[in-house]
Amino acid sequence: MSSKSFERIRLDYDGDVAILTLNRPEKLNALDSKTRMELKQALDEVEQKARVLIITGSGKAFAAGADINELLQRTSLDSMEAAKLGSELFNRIEELDIPVIAAINGYALGGGCELAMACDIRIASRRAKFGQPEINLALIPGAGGTQRLPRLVGIGMAKKLILTGEIIDAETALRIGLVEEVVEEDRLMDRAAEIAEKIAEKSPVAVKFAKKAINSARSMSLPDGLKYELTLFSMLFSTHDAREGMRAFLEKRKPEFRGN
CB of 100 to ligand CO8, least distance (A): 15
User: In Å, how far are 85, 148, 155 from 21, measured between CA atoms?
Assistant: 20, 23, 31
Q: Residue type at 35?
A: T
Q: Cβ closer to ligand CO8: 137 or 220?
A: 137
Specify whether 114 is catalytic.
yes
Residues 52-91: x where in contact with ligand CO8 by CB under 6 A, - otherwise, as a string: ------------xxxxxx-------------x--x-----
Smaller CB separation from ligand CO8, 159 or 187: 159
**How far lies 87's CA from each of 57, 93, 131, 170, 239, in Å?**
19, 10, 18, 25, 34
Q: Verify binding: residue 130, ligand CO8, rule CB under 6 A.
A: no
* Least distance between ligand CO8 and beta carbon 29 (Å): 8
Count of residues interacting with ligand CO8 (CB under 6 A):
23
Binding letters toward ligand CO8, positions 138-177, x by CB under 6 A: ---xxx----------------------------------
Contacts of 8 (CB under 8 A, 6+ apart): 22, 23, 24, 32, 34, 35, 38
| DSSP-derived 3-state class of residue 65 | coil
For the chain, the helix, strand and coil percentages under 3-state DSSP, each to the nearest 5: 55, 20, 30
For 159, other C-beta atoms within 10 Å of its C-beta total 14
**Catalytic-labelled residue, pool 70, 81, 94, 134:** 134
Write each residue from 12 to 41 as x if it is in contact with ligand CO8 (CB under 6 A), else as -, in one continuous string. ---------------xx-xx----x-----
Residue 255 binds ligand CO8 (CB under 6 A): no
**Catalytically annotated residue among 81, 114, 166, 185:** 114
Dihedral angle at the C-alpha atoms of 209, 210, 216, 218, nearest 10 degrees? Answer: -150
134 binds ligand CO8 (CB under 6 A): yes
* Residue 49 contacts residue 13 (beta carbons within 8 Å): yes
Closest CA to 177 of 157, 198, 199, 147: 157
Between 106 and 125, how does the x/- string for binding to ligand CO8 read (CB under 6 A)?
Answer: -x-xxx--------------
Amino acid making up residue 67: D
Evaluate whether 116 touches 69 at the Cβ level (below 8 Å): no
Residues at the site binding ligand CO8, with contacts judged by CB under 6 A: 27-28, 30-31, 36, 64-69, 83, 86, 107, 109-111, 133-134, 137, 141-143
Q: Which residues are identified as catalytic?
A: 114, 134
